[in-house]
Amino acid sequence: MNNEIPIWRIKYLPKNLDEVCGREKIKERLKSIIKQGNFPHLLFVGSEGIGKATLASLFSKEFLGRFYDANFKLIYANVPLTEEERKLARAEAYVSTSKIGSIAGKRITTPAFIQVKVKPFVQLKVLGEAPFKILIVKNFETLGSNQQGFRRLMEIYGSNCRMILITTKISGVIDPIVSRCQLFLISQVDLDSFKELMNKIANNESLEMEDGIIEILYKVSNGNISRAIDILQLSSIRRKKLTKNNLDEKKITKNILYEVAQKFQNDLVGSLLLMTLRGDFPKARELSRNIISNYKYNPHELFNLLLNELNKLPLSKFARIQLINLIADADFRAIDGLDSDIQISALLAKICLFSEHLS
Amino acid sequence: MAKKVKSVWVEEYRPKSIREMALPTAKVSGHKVDLAEDLTKFVKNFFKEMKRINAENKIIRVYNRTASEKERKEEVKIAPEKAAVLLEGPPGIGKTSIVFALANDLNMEVIETNASDTRTRDALENKLRETVKSRGIMDFVTQSKEKLILIDEVDGIYGTKDRGAVPTILDLIQSTQFPIIMCSNEYKQNLQPLYNKVRKFEVYPLSDDEVIKIAHNILKKENITNLKRGDLDLIVKKNNGDLRGVINDIQGIAQGSTEVDNKDLIFSLHRDTTEEIFALIRDLFQNVSTLREARDLTDKSDVDYNFLYKWVNENLISFIKINKEIANAYDNLSLADEIFGRIRRNQYWALLPYFYDLFAGGTSLAQSRKTSGFRRVTFPRYVVGGAFSLTNAERSLIDKINKTYEISQIEAIQDFIPFLKILCSTSRRQLKNVSDWLDLDAKEKKILK
């Protein structure tokens, strides 16, 4: 295997807390916790893709030291269980009649997710000399009603295992959980630290950039460092291609950057909205099907993305509220509907119709 | 000849021996095979294998009786692919007949279960388990017939009604004392565990010529002379290789009246095929002008409504071109879908009439002017909806990424893999770099291309 990692975002992944870009205050707080050697359950809140999980796992790594591997687990709340895991949950839920106690011969009604992914880890004793285990739950708000199951778990097994819950929407986390945790608000990386990191990468990869490129990158990537690095890497490849014959132009220009940034997914949904507003239903449906099969969004997610894109468009107040009305109606119907393709097509058809009134 | 009790011709003319029947062609993973020979070999091999395994188990049991708990050995089980086979093909081409003919040839008894039985775990077990596991006490005294287990219409297993049936069948395959043959019409997702375990014969319909030959023989035996050659061709063509359908049709015609040259009669006897759905969709959009007509159309057809409204969704835009009308039609269709969802989830079957009217009448009558002429009607494409599902290649690709870069499946699909795709599309060298680094195989590479 080649030692050189061909993907920059992995190559420049921070290896410890110090390497994490910016956010000094939070790092300081985390470091003082490490010094004290004890902390309550934590709740990390912050917008999407800004590095909450990276911070949390690096923090755990430093906190647990050499006992990290045995006492650490990261689970994703929004990834559905596989068939085997479901089977396992069903099998484990049954208490054999050979056991003594009132529940013998009955089924335990713990949610499958908690039964399979959480319980086995938190119930197991700490290995080695670490004070306790650490469990990170990402996208905690997507657990929905399963959050209730965490309340007791956090109390019963709290001394054995501390949890770091990560969420983008604190409103999606139920109050009893919030009250059991210490809150950490994670902010976006500030421009200065962002510049520092990008310059470091540019130096390493011997890139030259036009002035003001990093500022644009910062805006385009919305504080998502991985995305920013992705864009940088693609721009550098694009530049090499452009300058094969013409070696004077070595710098990454704004044009290249914009061109690359456009290829990313949100723009696909954006172009879907534009195409629909142009009133071509068959083509819009084709594109929406493409998006769904590639990115595997459920209809609710797609509607949300459309809503985001809608807010970026220059539309009149009236038009905007009409379109939001349409999206809301479609999302509402999709809750009970069986065929998501029909619901999405219905929304597109209605927007196509609406577009005729616009022009 | 004494007057026989009137019976269904399909049963009466079921072939008695595998040699006298017209065998449909069959393929196993793409290679053509001889069904008669392969199935006979399968049954014979099964008993040979069973004899060996039983002898082995006998030794193990004797050993276990004296051995301490720890040293006990597991009893040997038969390999699933030697215990069971699956025949898959469209209805009415002779899958069940082959099994009965085979059993007759080998002097065996067929124990059959089909979709008309409820196949919950308990029901299946009650019916099969005892026969499967043990041989009755009489079997030791008299030389009774060996048994062959036929699980017909396995693809009919679904829903809550037949809960637990697939695992039970898998268990049966492991512990059977008799060979199992399963029949199914089409690929079903929930049968995947079965497909993984057993050999699957894909059985193809007989050619029209062969079907006509068989039909002729039956007509001759039944002394029916008034069916014209042209009408027979028509029936055969319409049934599309479905031999059972042909036999049922000609019986219906022969017994319905003595004057059989009425084409309408033949058409009134038609079966549910894809052609019918095509015609129905065209009818719905091009000929229906009142709600009553739309209702009649959906009432009369035997096409599953589960299915029909997806056809409407797929083909709506080839008939309706004006945005306003498309939007109206979709408003009704999406409401129909919502209602259907509620019906299915909460069992509000009283809402079903609204569902029918909205998805059929509601879409068709949204047109202000009917289209005329031929319009292309296509199969509904089943876009994955709701549940997050990955293909095998995608899953293994994510596993390989996870070795160096921890990332959830959803993040991988929605964020990282799209980036890799863009990266790899820039040049062949990049693709090679990435695939070398992650050590990808051809299928995983294909995702990135």
Domain boundaries, chain A: 23-185, 191-261, 265-358
Q: What average pLDDT does this structure show over B167-183?
A: 81
% of chain B with per-residue pLDDT over 70: 80
Query: How far is it, in rounded angstroms, from Cα B44 to Cα B46?
Result: 5
- What chain B residue is nearest to A333 in terms of C-alpha separation? B338
Q: Where are the alpha helices (DSSP H) in chain A?
A: 8-11, 24-36, 52-64, 68-71, 83-93, 112-113, 119-123, 147-156, 175-179, 191-204, 213-221, 225-242, 254-261, 265-277, 281-295, 299-312, 317-336, 340-358
Q: Which residue has the higher pLDDT, B80 or B132?
A: B80
- Interface contact B313, partner A, CB < 8 A: yes
Could you please state the CATH topology (level 3) that the domain comprising A191-261 is classified under. Helicase, Ruva Protein; domain 3 (1.10.8)
ipTM above 0.90, yes or no: no
User: A276 pLDDT band (50/70/90 cuts)?
Assistant: very high
Instruction: Give pLDDT tens digits for B368-403.
Output: 888 877 777 877 765 444 456 677 788 888 888 888
- The answer to whether residue A239 scores a pLDDT higher than 90 is no
Among the listed ranges A335-349, B166-180, B330-344, which one has the minimum average pLDDT value?
Answer: B166-180
Mean pLDDT over all residues of chain B?
78
- What chain B residue is nearest to A77 in terms of C-alpha separation? B408
From chain A, pick out residues whose CB is under 8 angstroms from the CB of B388: 79-80, 296, 298
Residue A151 has a pLDDT of: 83
Q: What average pLDDT does this structure show over B134-140?
A: 54
Task: Tell me if A352 and B313 make a contact (CB, 8 A cut-off).
Answer: no
User: A321 pLDDT band (50/70/90 cuts)?
Assistant: very high
From chain A, pick out residues whose CB is under 8 angstroms from the CB of B422: 234, 263-264
Q: What average pLDDT does this structure show over A21-42?
A: 88
Nearest-CA distance from A69 to chain B in Å?
Answer: 14
% of chain A with per-residue pLDDT over 70: 94
A vs B, Cβ pairs < 8 A, gives 154
User: A1 pLDDT band (50/70/90 cuts)?
Assistant: very low
Read off the DSSP letter of residue B146: E
Residue A299 has a pLDDT of: 86
Instruction: Give pLDDT tens digits for A149-208.
Output: 888 888 888 888 999 999 988 888 888 888 888 888 888 888 888 888 888 888 888 888
Residue B386 has a pLDDT of: 44
- What chain A residue is nearest to B167 in terms of C-alpha separation? A87
| C-beta separation of A187 from A55 below 8 A | no
Task: Tell me if A337 and B341 make a contact (CB, 8 A cut-off).
Answer: yes
Task: Tell me if B341 and A336 make a contact (CB, 8 A cut-off).
Answer: yes
Q: How many residues does chain B have?
A: 449
Read off the DSSP letter of residue A94: B
Task: Return the residue in B359, B408, B421, B432 with the most chain A beta carbons within 10 A, the one to mutate for interface testing.
Answer: B408
| C-beta separation of A174 from A216 below 8 A | no
Question: Which of these, A217, A227, A221, A279, lies nearest to A252 by C-alpha position?
Answer: A217
| C-beta separation of A259 from A266 below 8 A | no
- Interface contact B394, partner A, CB < 8 A: no
Token pair of A45 as six digits: 């809140």
**Would the CA dihedral through B181, B187, B188, B194 be positive or negative?**
positive
Class of A265-358 in CATH: mainly alpha
Residue A349 has a pLDDT of: 94
Among the listed ranges A65-79, A99-113, A286-300, which one has the minimum average pLDDT value?
Answer: A99-113
- Interface contact B71, partner A, CB < 8 A: no
Q: What average pLDDT does this structure show over B252-262?
A: 56
Class of A23-185 in CATH: alpha beta
From chain B, pick out residues whose CB is under 8 angstroms from the CB of A241: 426-427
Q: What average pLDDT does this structure show over A255-280?
A: 81
Residue B381 has a pLDDT of: 65
| Most confidently predicted of A77-81, A93-97, B327-331, B352-356 | B327-331
Residue B4 has a pLDDT of: 45
Residue A195 sits at φ, ψ, to 5 deg, of -60, -45
Residue B221 has a pLDDT of: 82
